[in-house]
Amino acid sequence: MDKFTYEKPYYTLTQYYNEKYGCKIGKIALNANFTCPNKDGKKGYGGCTYCSKPGSGDLAGDKNKPLKEQFDDIKNIMESKWPSIKYMPYLQANSNTYDKLENLKNIYNEVLNIYPDKTVGISIATRADCIDEEIADYLGELNKVTNVQIELGLQSSNENTGVLINRCSTNLEFVNAVNLLRKYNIEIIVHIINGLPYENENDMINTINFINKLDVQGIKFHSLLILKETKIALQYEKEKFHILTLDEYVDITTKQIMNLRPDIVIHRLAADGVYDDLIAPLWTRKKLVVMNEIDKKLRSLNAYQGINYKGESK
Ligand code: SF4
């Protein structure tokens, strides 16, 4: 299989960006101070049980700083290491399509015009229920002049888990949002979480099988993080549900990669290490170790992305 004659036994983001842009692309995580319909009462209150105060954007910029300043903070570090790097700014915290269209347009244009010559596109994290025809149509127009990536949180395809984590959004809404965005040729990256309460290996493999059937282009794997001052931290304290060990995470994620459609780009294999607010699992602080263990496991099995996938590529 051509794709996996490259360095890694899976379709990496580095490889994809090299094919597409021919250079290193740095992702600049920004916080534009949006909120979320799962927090303000439109869909639910309090948010998903694992959601942290910054709206699952713990490593995004400081919302109190102007976007340019947030951009510069990361750009300066990256440019000292890779002088010819280009950028994909990433609106990460909360739901970044949840506002009036005029406001969205202003923010996206502001971000794209901070360093227009060095910016290859914009990545926007949101919820499936924050995509409607009007927004998709606008994103489609924007996608004609730059590259628009939409990052959609699914977390799990098990609807019971969805209720348990207070996702307040259904699989059907997810499928509808994917179909709508693809009508406008917009690249979609799905986020999933491994190790959600009471999920077993089958649930996590089923989530991959669910994604394989959809016209999505990328995936981010995360491990569940129990962070201080979240609802899931209280649930964990009370119920002490099973938390994945490093070996279990590596084993399950390896199996998921082997089942994953080969054309889906893997943007992330493990959550970024959080230090101050992390309660469990502590091994998640060593992201590189997690990634290396997954590589090692795939190689020891002589396996690669999609080896067990039975369907067709998109
Ligand atoms: S959808 Fe995202 S931002 Fe909103 S509550 Fe859930 S994790 Fe937090």
- Of the candidate CATH numbers 3.20.20.70, 1.50.10.10, 3.40.50.10320, 1.10.10.10, the domain formed by 2-300 belongs to 3.20.20.70
Q: How far is the CA of 5 from the centre of ligand 1 (A)?
A: 37
Nearest to 193 by CA among 167, 173, 214, 215: 167
pLDDT band per the 50, 70, 90 thresholds, residue 313: confident
What integer pLDDT is reported at residue 62 of this predicted model?
80
What integer pLDDT is reported at residue 57 of this predicted model?
56
- Model pTM? 0.96
Residue nearest (by alpha carbon) to ligand 1 atom 4: 36
* 51 CB within 6 A, ligand 1: yes
Asked if the model's pLDDT at residue 7 lies above 90, the reply is no
What integer pLDDT is reported at residue 111 of this predicted model?
98
Q: How far is the CA of 226 from the centre of ligand 1 (A)?
A: 15
Distance in angstroms (rounded) separating the CA atoms of residues 80 and 72: 12
What integer pLDDT is reported at residue 3 of this predicted model?
54
Q: How many CB atoms lie within 10 A of CB 247?
A: 11
The least confident of 31-35, 50-54, 182-186, 197-201 is: 50-54
Instruction: Kindly report the average pLDDT of the chain as a whole number.
Output: 94
Distance in angstroms (rounded) separating the CA atoms of residues 180 and 199: 29
Residue 166 CA: nearest ligand 1 atom is: 6
Q: What is the DSSP string of 41-104?
A: SSS-BS-STT--TTSS-TTS--TTS-HHHHHHHHHHHHHHH-TT-EEEEEE-SS-TT-S-HHHH
What integer pLDDT is reported at residue 186 of this predicted model?
98
Nearest to 164 by CA among 130, 209, 203, 201: 203
Asked if the model's pLDDT at residue 2 lies above 80, the reply is no
Write the pLDDT tens digit of every residue in 84-143.
999 999 999 999 999 999 999 999 999 999 999 999 999 999 999 999 999 999 999 999
Of residues 63 and 165, more confidence is placed in: 165
The alpha carbon of 163 is separated from its chain's Cα centroid by a whole number of angstroms, namely 20
Residue 17 tokens read as 């960006």
Pair 98, 126: CB distance under 8 Å: yes
Q: How far is the CA of 50 from the centre of ligand 1 (A)?
A: 8
Residue nearest (by alpha carbon) to ligand 1 atom 6: 48
What integer pLDDT is reported at residue 58 of this predicted model?
60
What integer pLDDT is reported at residue 48 of this predicted model?
96
Pair 193, 167: CB distance under 8 Å: no
Q: Kindly state the helix (H) or strand (E) to which residue 193 belongs, with its residue range.
A: strand 187-194
What integer pLDDT is reported at residue 53 of this predicted model?
75
* 56 CB within 6 A, ligand 1: yes
Bridge partner list, 88: 27
Write the pLDDT tens digit of every residue in 25-81.
999 999 999 999 999 999 999 999 999 876 565 666 788 899 999 999 999 999 999
**Mean pLDDT calculated for residue range 219-232:** 96
- Contacts of 139 by beta carbon, 8 Å cutoff, 6+ apart: 97, 124, 148, 150, 181, 184, 186
